[in-house]
Amino acid sequence: MSLVRLADFVTRSDVRVEVLGDLSKGPKTPTELASLHSEHVSHVCRALAELKAQGLVETALKSSNRKYYKATQIGLELNNSIVRTPK
């Protein structure tokens, strides 16, 4: 998928934009991401799955009861282009 199409995909969901932006700053768990924006964890998990399927985020670390996610290189680049694009 081209960068333009990926940007369109991400920006069609406020939750995807928020999650990608937060993960661009460092690894976080779904619970941490949900609490940052008062979202339900289920919405964040769905956004994470969608972003992961597009190669924009990946699992950073798994502990016994927590899974951390981080933005991939293309996710970082896409986030930077979204942030710079005026709305």
**pLDDT exceeds 70 at position 87:** no
DSSP string covering 38-83:
T--HHHHHHHHHHHHHTTSEEEEEE-SS-EEEEE-HHHHHHHHHHH
pTM of the model as a whole: 0.89
Q: Is residue 43 in a domain?
A: yes
Average pLDDT, the chain: 91
**What pLDDT, on the 0 to 100 scale, is given for residue 3?**
83
CATH value at residue 42: 1.10.10.10
Q: Is residue 87 in a domain?
A: no
- Give residue 69's domain range: 3-82
Domain total of the chain: 1
**What pLDDT, on the 0 to 100 scale, is given for residue 85?**
59
Q: Is residue 67 in a domain?
A: yes
Tokens 């081209």: give the residue.
Answer: 2
Report helix, strand or coil for 34.
helix
Q: Is residue 52 in a domain?
A: yes
Q: Is residue 50 in a domain?
A: yes
